[in-house]
């Protein structure tokens, strides 16, 4: 894969478990250089094709005292889809799939956050693809939040987490080769955010 710049979601310390405590309602901006939004789709039963999105932006708000106040918003540029194969990427940008000319962006906006363990939780939100909005729930694991150790970062606080979800592309109207090419996409999201 090429150098990675979302995702899809970002709510790093949603669950209040960290050695470093944020202040109420801190806002974090997603670090594109240390964030990956990856998807896997089954190809005719032979293998799982791996792709990702290279261009995105987003932020999250974290309230350590009340996880229900945490929020995530993200915008992904659909024409940044990248599977390391130009012909396939061009097809994914066509009306058969992401139709990037008509729908240049897909978005995610959280609607609820639930704590499920000391460092785990679920984020539910509205995912919009091809102009269709559907609820999606992601399982999230908090990794770490602390001032960045490299001096050139001037002690900026960084929060990181991992998220996993499954999305049925046909529910958003992406029905090309349904049943042959996998309908369900596995999302693998690794995110770091810098406190503003």
32 in Cβ contact with 5 (< 8 Å): yes
> Phi and psi of 80, rounded to 5°?
-90, 10
Alpha helices in 26-128 (DSSP H): 86-93
How many residues appear in the chain? 196
The CA–CA distances, whole Å, from 100 to 5, 21, 25, 85, 104 equal 19, 41, 35, 17, 5
Neighbours of 59 (CB within 10 A): 16
Q: Which domains does the chain have, with CATH numbers?
A: 26-195 (2.40.128.110)
Instruction: Quote the pLDDT of residue 142.
Output: 87
pLDDT of residue 62: 76
Q: What are the pLDDT digits (tens) for 90-143?
A: 999 999 999 999 999 999 999 999 999 888 999 999 999 999 999 999 999 989
Report pLDDT for 10. Answer: 37
| Reported pTM | 0.87
Q: For 170-185, write each residue's pLDDT tens digit.
A: 999 999 999 999 999 9
pLDDT at 66: 79
- pLDDT (0 to 100) of residue 111: 97
pLDDT tens per residue across span 39-85: 999 999 999 999 999 999 999 887 767 788 889 999 999 999 999 99
Asked if 157 contacts 22 with a C-beta cutoff of 8 angstroms, the reply is: yes
On the question of pLDDT at 27 being above 60, the answer is yes
């Amino acid at each position: 894969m090429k150098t990675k710049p979302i995702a899809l979601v970002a709510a790093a310390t949603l669950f209040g478990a960290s050695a470093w405590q944020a202040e109420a309602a801190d806002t974090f901006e997603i670090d594109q250089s240390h964030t990956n939004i990856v998807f896997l789709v089954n190809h005719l039963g032979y293998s799982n094709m791996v792709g990702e999105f290279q261009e995105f932006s987003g932020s999250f708000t974290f309230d350590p005292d009340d996880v229900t106040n945490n929020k995530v918003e993200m915008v992904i540029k659909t024409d940044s889809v990248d599977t390391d194969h130009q012909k396939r990427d061009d097809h994914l940008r066509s009306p058969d799939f992401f139709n990037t000319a008509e729908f240049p962006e897909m978005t995610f906006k959280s609607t609820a956050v639930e704590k499920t363990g000391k460092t785990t939780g679920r984020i539910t939100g509205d995912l919009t693809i091809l102009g269709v909005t559907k609820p999606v729930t992601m399982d999230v694991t908090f990794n770490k939040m602390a001032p960045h150790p490299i001096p050139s970062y001037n002690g900026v606080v960084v929060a990181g987490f991992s998220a996993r979800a499954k999305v049925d592309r046909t529910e958003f109207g992406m029905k090309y080769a349904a049943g042959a090419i996998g309908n369900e996409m596995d999302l693998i999201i690794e995110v770091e955010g810098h406190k503003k």
